[in-house]
Every structure is written in C-alpha cells, then in structure tokens.
Copies of this chain bind each other. A is one copy, B any other.
Amino acid sequence: MEKLYYTYQMIHKLAQSIAGQVTESGFNPDVIVAIGTGGFIPARILRTYLGKPILAVGIAYYDLNDKPMDYPRKVQWIEEAEKKLAGKRILLVDEVDDSRVTLEYCTKELLAYHPAALAVAVLHDKHKEKRGAFPPGVSKVFVGEALGDVWIVYPWDAHDIDEQDRNAALERGAET
C-alpha cells in the first residue's frame, strides 16, 4: 500500500483549513471533543483557531493492559458527560475517517447526551468502503483532505522526525 508522509506543518495547515470551513459554515462549537490518541494533536491545533476548550475521550481496540478487544471500547470517557454536553454544540475531532467504526461509535455515544448539535472534523477522509456510518444527528462533517485508501504516516508517529520530513519532501517535490 502506498505510504503518504505528512509533516507537522502540513497537519497544522490542514487543521487551519478545517477551522476556516467550520467558521464559514456558521457552526459555532461550544466544546471540542478529541478522540485519543489520534485526535489529540489536530484538536489542539483547532483550539488555537476556534478558541474552544477540549474534552478528551479515549477509544481503543486494546485495553490499558494491551489485551486486544473485538470492538472499540472506552479507555476514557467524559465524566458527568450528560451534564457537560447536554445542550452544547460539539465538534468531535479525530485524525482520520478510515473505516468510520470509531466515529460511528463516538457520535452515537455523544448523541445520547442530547447535545444542541454535533459535527465531526477529521484531517483526512479515506475514500473506501466504510463499515460504519454517521447517524442522522451528525449535522456536518469537515474534512481537511480527501484521500484514496493509502497508508497515512503522521509526523507524531515518527521515530526520526528528520527522516519523516525528508520523506514528505521527496514525495511531494517542492510542494511542501
């Protein structure tokens, strides 16, 4: 599978572009909910542009003892979620919409708290067959960049950040 390398600068600009889309759409979130751990960095950058607080949720196919699980499970959720999220406009953030399973799970859980509105933002949407679906309560989906079914290599996963940057530059020529 083709690997696509991203620099932090590219990610920062994708988040900036998403923030622009959010503002232009008229969607004015009260709170950003970051899906950990992939959503932490895009959510934190979005916070710079949108100026909203972040709550974090942890979803994993592995539990804290690294035992594999058959379905996504909450590693961490929001305490008193019903009180904090009822009537609020939520922007749920993750790095990528891949199979959509995690996003379906999280959006359904959040809708149970009766937010005023729920939108989703992802840096990347992979155009591929999705095993999950957005429930009707999701009013908007903001996408930084649409891609094919490629292997996205995010900078925060790099063991050698200089090599990551070289790979991204090689791949894209002068584009970066």
List the interface of chain A (C-beta within 8 A of B).
7-9, 12-13, 16, 30-31, 34, 36-37, 40-41, 43-45, 47-49, 53-56, 58, 60, 62, 64, 75-79, 84, 155-159, 161-162, 165
Contact A54 B30 (CB under 8 A): no
Residue contact A48 to B159, C-beta cutoff 8 Å: yes
* B31 and A64 contact, CB distance less than 8 A: yes
Given A12-B8, A79-B77: A44 in contact with B37 (beta carbons within 8 A): yes
| Closest chain B CB from A92 CB (angstroms) | 15
Shortest CB–CB separation between residue A48 and chain B, in angstroms? Answer: 5
Min CB–CB distance A106 → chain B (angstroms): 15
Q: When chains A and B are docked, how far (Å) is the Cα of A78 from the Cα of B157?
A: 25
The docked-state distance in angstroms from the alpha carbon of A165 to that of B10 is 13
Cβ-defined contact, B60 with A58, below 8 A: no
List of B residues within 8 angstroms of A45 by Cβ: 156
A10 to B150, CA, bound (A): 28
CB neighbours of A36 from chain B (8 A): 54, 56
Q: How far is the CB of A166 from chain B (nearest CB, A)?
A: 12
Asked whether, in the complex, the Cβ of B76 is within 8 Å of the Cβ of A9, the reply is no
In the bound complex, do residue B44 and residue A54 qualify as a contact, i.e. CB atoms below 8 Å apart?
no
27 CB-based A-B contacts, threshold 8 Å = A8-B8, A8-B9, A8-B12, A8-B155, A12-B161, A16-B161, A30-B64, A34-B56, A36-B54, A37-B47, A37-B54, A40-B44, A40-B54, A41-B41, A41-B44, A44-B156, A45-B156, A48-B158, A48-B159, A49-B159, A53-B58, A53-B60, A53-B62, A55-B75, A56-B76, A64-B84, A77-B79
